[in-house]
Each structure stands twice: as C-alpha cells, then as structure tokens.
Amino acid sequence: MASQTHVNVHSRLTVVSSTPTEPMGSTNGLTPIDHTMGSHTVHIIFYYRTSPFAKKGRFALDLDNVRVSLSDLLSKYPRMTGRLFRDNDGNWGVRYNDAGVRMFKADVGITVDEWLKTADESDERNLTMWEDMPDGDPTSWSPFQIQVSEFLEGGLSIGLSFTHLLADPTSGTLFYKSWTDAERGDPTGHRTPIFSLPQLDNRPPPAATGTTCTTTEYLQKNSKLAPISSEKMATSVFKFSNSTIKQCLSKISDRCPDANPFDYLTALFWSRIVELKTQIAPSPSQSISICVDGRQLLDVPTPIKFFGNAVSFSKLSLRNEMLMGDDGLPEVVEAVHRHVKGIRKEDIFSMIDWLEDCRKGLNGGYPPATQMYGPELTFVSLEHLMIPKEESKDELEALDYEAKFRNNEKPVHVSYHVRKAQGQGLIVVAPSPEGGAARTVTVTLPVEEIGKLCEDPVIREMEATVILSGRR
C-alpha cells in the first residue's frame, strides 16, 4: 500500500475569474435538488501517464501558467468562484463575488503506474485537497478546490473536489473537459454553461394522482433514517474490457437485447454482493438504490452544458431467489434495465413538489440534507458520459477520457468518489479508457465484504484489471 508520505502538498494559491461577474454581488438561490445533496462531497481525479505540460519550454508546469486558461473559463462559472450563504429562511444560495477557487500543487514520490497498482482510496484522498465547510460563516470558504500532483517520471494527476450542494459528478466532468478544451485552444471549451432548469418553474401544478413516484419514495424514506454508522469502508476498482462486456451482453441478448453495460454490471455486482451478505443476514428480498443522470429526463435544451445537480435516485427491490445463482442473472439484468428505462421526469418533479411542501411546513426552510448514497447499496450510472464520436456517430467514446490538454494526452484513469457514503456501499459504473463497452467499476463496501468480493469466483472469471485496491 502506498504510504501517505508519497504525496507532498507544497503550494497553494487562489484562482479568480479573469472577467468580473456582472452585477458583482448578485445572488442565486439553490434548487430543492441541490439542497438534498448537501451531505456529500464529490472528488474526481484525472490521471495522465505523461504530463500534459512539458518539464521545459513553453508548457512548463507552473501554476501561474496553468491557471491562465482556468481563469478565463471561470469567468463563465460564477457558481464556482462565488461563496455560499444562507438566506433569511435558512436556505442555501451563492453570492457571485468572484472570490475564486483554491488550487494546490503537490509532488508524489512514485510513478503513476506504481500508484495505480499500490495505492488505495485512502491514499487517493491525498490527491484531492479538501477543506470541509467551517461551522458558522462559510463566506470565506472555497466550495471548489483543485489539486495538481506531479508523479515521478513525468506523470500527473489533477483532482477536483467540490460540495455536492453545488454540482454533481457530471458537472465536474463537463467543467474539466471544458478546461482542457480551452487550454488546447478548442472553441468548444469557451461555451457558456447553463445554470438553471426553467422547466422546473414553468410547468403546470402537479396533478393529484394518489401515487408516489420512485424518487420521492426514496427521499421520504432516507429523510427518516438515523445517521449511518461509521463502519470502516474499503474500495476496489475493477476495469472490464470491451470484449468481456460485449460477450456478457451477447449471452443475455435473447432475454434483454437492449441491455447496456450498466444494466449488466449492476445485476452482476448486486447478485454477488447478495451472496456474501446473505450469509450474515438472510432476507426474502433485497433492495438497491439507483442514481442516474436527469439531464435528458428534464428536457434540458443542451444537456451537456447544464452545471448543477440533475441526479435522480430511486429504489429497486427484487426477490432473493431471483438474485441468487447464475441462472437468474439475465432476469436481474432485465429488471434493472426496465427500472432505469421507467424513470420519468415526473419522478423528479414529484420530489421537487414534496420538498416544496416540506418547506411550507418548516417556515420556508427546506428539510436538512440527508444521506443519499449508501443507506442502501447504491449504484451510480455514468452511461451518459458515453457520447458519439465526431468522425463516426455509430461509435461511442468516453467524454471524460477525451479530456486532453495541449499534448493531446488522454487520461489513463479517471476516479470518481462521493464521500460520506457509509452504510451498505456505493458502486460507480463509469467509462473506461478503452472505450466501447469497457467499463470501470469502483466498489466501496465494508472492509470484510470488499475482501470477499475481490475473491468471488464469478468476478474473477471476468478477468478484470484491479487497480487502486491496495494489497488486495
């Protein structure tokens, strides 16, 4: 396991926008969806085997140089450079004051390849500088922080950290992609993002259906949960190849021809985890929560430009006998696929309406943020980051792995973490550098369970490459 002493943070500065926000000091209230996510922070790390910035010459890695394109881009992101405040009702907002984002520089005492082989999630925390919001007045606290870490032999990582109150993992990815585009001189990097969802405000009053939508049910249940215990968690990262996932999808095509990698991998890991969990606590049925991106559901005119929170959570329950054993896997894949396809924008609207009703009963304040990831085993889909290639619309490429700086070096790995997700566990299914159907699955479970999962014969049979898992 990598030692924490391998990472030495030695520089700190504040990057401000190059063009002042107008009008300076204006405020923007946060949405009900934003308020539900306030318990969590998001951390994304982009690893490069060869630094995008040469050691010598014009592109030498110097924070003063790196931040030029960042400063220009931040002029379009006042939500990132502003500061949080509470209004008279106790609800969160952002004051656009151009206070900037914190940027740190660090050195790492091993190579990128050595790090990916030997480090674990606790080591990765050292690649994302994060200072929790202080108690009391947060107006001097930066809700977005960036760390640039140089590895031996020329590798580099850039870690983004931010409060989930202001943005979701997709937003962080899209911002970073815009930064690399801007640094490379690509005009797409300078497109103005969207910060509001007008269709949430300009829609008819909710109809009384007598039923509760899936997202609202999930939030209602979690808002009543006691705080999750601080049981020690551990993380392993599995990289599944394009050929392996295609072969797996082919085997179940008769039952579910439209299944995607997320459907399959969710069914696979859920069934394997049930196997190891039920040895301890048998149950007639099992439940998971599924987190998907809601940009398409909400009819955002340009989904890829929305910056904020557009996540949708829902619960899926299946009988234990369906989840146990290999024969039931196609049925589970079909159930996951059908559930995700059945999530509607009305589910998100229902959640908004419920939160607004709570607000009316709480003297104008939204309910306190609740733990959204982890009370139940939570699966996060990043399938929407697979986008058509410009040269071939029939092929897909991973948007996060197209984040290339001036030397066109693609990331060798992108890590996604959501903190304060203790409990049953968190599984993020994300794109992989290989592209196509290849996927990277980041699994966070209680320590004893992650050890068993890494030895599971069904998982091992798929010959995944395991990284960032310490000695496992």
Closest-CA residue to 261 (of 385, 116, 400) = 385
Say if 131 falls within a structural domain: yes
Average pLDDT score over residue span 333-347: 93
- DSSP annotation of 19 reads S
Say if 403 falls within a structural domain: no
Average pLDDT score over residue span 7-31: 91
Q: What is the pLDDT of residue 280?
A: 52
The two structure tokens encoding residue 2: 């990598």
Average pLDDT score over residue span 452-462: 94
Half-sphere exposure in the Cβ direction for 329 (13 Å, CA): 21
More confident residue, 240 or 305: 240
Q: What is the pLDDT of residue 220?
A: 66
Q: Do both 271 and 362 map to the same domain?
A: yes
Q: What is the pLDDT of residue 1?
A: 45
Instruction: State how far the alpha carbon of 264 is from the alpha carbons of 185, 319, 385, in Å.
Output: 39, 18, 17
Q: Name the least confident of 54-68, 180-194, 267-281, 431-445.
A: 54-68
Q: What is the pLDDT of residue 230?
A: 63
Question: Does the pLDDT at position 277 exceed 70?
Answer: yes
Q: Do both 109 and 173 map to the same domain?
A: yes
Q: Which residue among 163, 195, 227 closes a domain?
A: 195
Q: How far apart are CA 187 and CA 423, in angstroms?
A: 43
Express as a percent the part of the chain with pLDDT over 70: 85
Q: Do both 345 and 453 map to the same domain?
A: yes
Q: State the amino acid at position 428 in one-letter form.
A: V
CATH of the domain at 131: 3.30.559.10
With cut-offs at 50, 70 and 90, classify the pLDDT of residue 210.
very low
Q: Do both 179 and 233 map to the same domain?
A: no
Q: How far apart are CA 339 and CA 270, in angstroms?
A: 15
Q: Name the least confident of 29-33, 225-229, 312-316.
A: 225-229
Q: What is the pLDDT of residue 141?
A: 94
Q: How far apart are CA 79 and CA 167, in angstroms?
A: 9
The two structure tokens encoding residue 346: 């009305």
Q: Do both 171 and 223 map to the same domain?
A: no
Say if 11 falls within a structural domain: yes
Q: What is the pLDDT of residues 52-100, one digit of tens each?
A: 775 554 445 566 667 788 999 999 999 999 999 999 999 999 999 999 9
Q: Which residue among 161, 195, 229 closes a domain?
A: 195
Say whether the peptide bond before residue 23 is cis (omega within 30 degrees of 0).
Answer: yes
Q: How far apart are CA 265 and CA 72, in angstroms?
A: 40
Q: Do both 107 and 217 map to the same domain?
A: no
Q: DSSP string covering 368-397, please?
A: PP---SSSSEEEEE-GGGEEE-SS-TTSEE
Closest-CA residue to 97 (of 83, 109, 76) = 83
Say if 201 falls within a structural domain: no
Question: Does the pLDDT at position 383 exceed 90?
Answer: yes
Q: Do both 238 and 158 map to the same domain?
A: no
Q: What is the pLDDT of residue 60?
A: 57
Which contacts (CB < 8 Å, 24+ apart) does range 189-193 have?
A: 189/69, 189/73, 190/72, 190/73, 190/76, 191/305, 192/76, 192/305, 193/76, 193/77, 193/305, 193/306, 193/307
Q: What is the pLDDT of residues 88-101, one digit of tens each?
A: 999 999 999 999 99
Q: How far apart are CA 322 and CA 278, in angstroms?
A: 13
Q: Do both 237 and 367 map to the same domain?
A: yes
Closest-CA residue to 273 (of 373, 120, 414, 379) = 379
Average pLDDT score over residue span 230-259: 94
Say if 295 falls within a structural domain: yes
Express as a percent the part of the chain with pLDDT over 90: 62
The two structure tokens encoding residue 356: 């607004």
What range defines the domain where residue 364 resides?
210-390+416-467
With cut-offs at 50, 70 and 90, classify the pLDDT of residue 203.
low
Question: Does the pLDDT at position 368 exceed 80?
Answer: yes
Q: Do both 382 and 235 map to the same domain?
A: yes
Q: How far apart are CA 65 and CA 145, in angstroms?
A: 17
Closest-CA residue to 177 (of 410, 15, 399) = 399
Cβ neighbours, 10 Å, residue 268? 22
Say if 88 falls within a structural domain: yes
Q: What is the pLDDT of residue 9?
A: 93
Give whichever of 367-371, 394-398, 456-460 has the largest mean pLDDT.
456-460
Cβ neighbours, 10 Å, residue 189? 18
The two structure tokens encoding residue 100: 């900037």
Q: Do both 135 and 268 map to the same domain?
A: no
The answer to whether 159 touches 151, Cβ cutoff 8 Å, is: no
Closest-CA residue to 120 (of 403, 457, 450) = 450
Q: What is the pLDDT of residue 396?
A: 84
Q: Do both 142 and 229 map to the same domain?
A: no
Q: How far apart are CA 369 and CA 37, in angstroms?
A: 6
Q: How far apart are CA 150 and CA 336, in angstroms?
A: 41
Q: Do both 118 and 220 map to the same domain?
A: no
239 DSSP β-pair partners: 440, 465
Q: What is the pLDDT of residue 361?
A: 78
Instruction: For the chain, give the number of residues.
Output: 472
Say if 399 falls within a structural domain: no
Q: Which residue among 160, 195, 230 closes a domain?
A: 195
Q: How many domains does the chain have?
A: 2
β strands within 1-110, DSSP E: 7-15, 27-29, 41-48, 83-86, 92-95, 101-108
Q: What is the pLDDT of residues 146-190, one digit of tens each?
A: 999 999 998 999 999 999 999 999 999 999 999 999 888 888 777
Say if 397 falls within a structural domain: no
